[in-house]
Structure 1
Amino acid sequence: MRLNNLDKKKFVKNFENKGYILIKNFYNKFTAKKIKINLKSFLEKNKLNLKGVNLINKKSKINSAHNLQKWKLLKKIQKDNKIKNIAKILLKGKVKNFGAEVFAKPAKIGLSSPTHQDNFYWNVSNNKGITFWIALNKSNKKNGSIFYYEKSHKLGLIQHVPSFAPGSSQKIDSVNKFKKFKKVYPNLKVGDVLIHHCLIAHGSEKNKSKKDRMGLTLRFIGADSKIDQRKKKKYQKSLYKQKKILN
């Protein structure tokens, strides 16, 4: 995706106004399918040995996986200039990788994700972070698509409380504060990409449909961004307590 100076300004303005942006046909169907097949194969072979994998009940179906560092294809995807250039445009400077996750949300049993802000998990001190959400299946309201409270990133970091939800340990204490914000459920085709700000309030509902809803996320932060260690320790303490109770 190439943007001239005028397009760049419009692109950034749109993103900064809404807190997210949708790019249609970012990957063609062939490339997206190739990524999905490779990722599913990796997860199936390694799901019992990977850290940060959330399985559903006793069916051993993956709902989400939060540590994909050993997936060989990941580095190639992260280094893609098409992705890196957009990240640099939106973060206005050099960027660095901040991990990757997959939200598999299998048909009929895919779990919901409570409303949250990514930076409550990340603890990036200057709130300079974005997520690329790559659709590996069609995604819509019926099969548990991601939802956003449009423009909610302008509220800054909001108080969260423990959620006890697998893969999404924190949630915003009350969604009543979003009554004035438009709640949107973007419809995605395979290969479409959503990019969202680390402060936008978002989540997803259960997948009760007969269709899987897999999304791969890539995270980037500014090269000059630092982690707030005090907030990180507080978050990790909450996470540890939840795991202890759930186990």
Structure 2
Amino acid sequence: MTLNKKKLDKIKKGFDENGYILLNKFFDKNKIALIKKNLFNFLNKKKRNFKKKREIHFANTSKLINSVHHLKWPYIQKFRGNKKILKIVKYILEDDLKNFGAEVFAKPAKVGMPAPIHQDNFYWNVNNGKGVTVWIALDESTKKNGAIFYYKKSHKVGLLDHKCSYAPGSSQELENKKILKQFKKFTPELNVGDILIHHCLVVHGSKKNLSKNDRAGLTLRYIGKSSKINKSQKNKYEKDLKKQI
């Protein structure tokens, strides 16, 4: 992918309009397959070291990993420093960047759990809304195996009220879902190596994975260098989280 100004303008226009953008064939699928293998080898070896209900969640009563938060994987820095990703995200946010963590949403076959409808910034508490998630498809992602879905343009309404969801790995959900009637729901389908970049205010979620295929995604999070964390909102979120862990 050549990232000239015309291409960057097109990406930013789509992102600004809908709250997300899909970029196909961003990574070579064979490289991603190898990365997935190495990542899950690391996670399965280290899973006992993660804090349960805070850093790692398992799919129902199984020993299969459903999600990992605050990911500390040595290889993640190489991913995070990808020049094309950095160039796109800087262009979208119109700001220099700060790393804001990484996560794995494994959603294993047959037992993968849903993610309640939410906005990322209810967790992040970024004061100016300058934040994005880069969602990297480690598996094919379809409606059948619990693909992420978005409510188009919902990032334009600002931060909405949430409530405790009591869902492992996704502790908050939108309180008033009636507002979603004004937005079109869209479920992008991804191949291995495709990426999604979404705004921290776009409303999204995903359903259970009852299929025979895994639906793993690796996420990189960035906020603007000018962004600050709203401490009062962060404290409220942490208080709500403690009720659930």
Counterpart code for 2:50: L
1:1-247 correspondence to structure 2 within 5 Å: 1-51=1-51, 52-69=55-72, 71-243=73-245
- Per-residue displacement from partner, 1:186-221 (whole Å, max 9, x unpaired)? 000000000000000000000000000000000000
Count of aligned positions: 242
Contact 2:3 / 2:84 at 8 angstroms: preserved in 1? Answer: no
Counterpart code for 2:21: I
Alpha-carbon shift at residue 95 of structure 1 (Å): 0.5
**Structure 1 runs (4+) greater than 3 angstroms displaced:** none
Distance across 2 between alignment mates of 1:164 and 1:183: 24
User: Which range moved further: 76-85 or 146-155?
Assistant: 76-85
- Per-residue displacement from partner, 1:216-241 (whole Å, max 9, x unpaired)? 00000001110011110000000001
Distance across 1 between alignment mates of 2:215 and 2:145: 6
Alpha-carbon shift at residue 13 of structure 1 (Å): 1.2
Contact 2:152 / 2:202 at 8 angstroms: preserved in 1? Answer: yes
Distance across 1 between alignment mates of 2:95 and 2:175: 33
Alpha-carbon shift at residue 7 of structure 1 (Å): 2.5
Counterpart code for 2:184: K
Distance across 2 between alignment mates of 1:59 and 1:6: 48
Alpha-carbon shift at residue 10 of structure 1 (Å): 2.2
User: Secondary structure of the residue that 1:143 maps to in structure 2?
Assistant: coil
Q: CA RMSD in A?
A: 0.9
* Percent identical: 54
Counterpart code for 1:4: N
TM-score (norm 1): 0.96
Distance across 1 between alignment mates of 2:90 and 2:229: 19
Contact 2:126 / 2:230 at 8 angstroms: preserved in 1? Answer: yes
Alpha-carbon shift at residue 126 of structure 1 (Å): 0.4
Consecutive unaligned residues in structure 1, runs of 5 or more = none
Contact 2:8 / 2:88 at 8 angstroms: preserved in 1? Answer: no
Consecutive unaligned residues in structure 2, runs of 5 or more = none
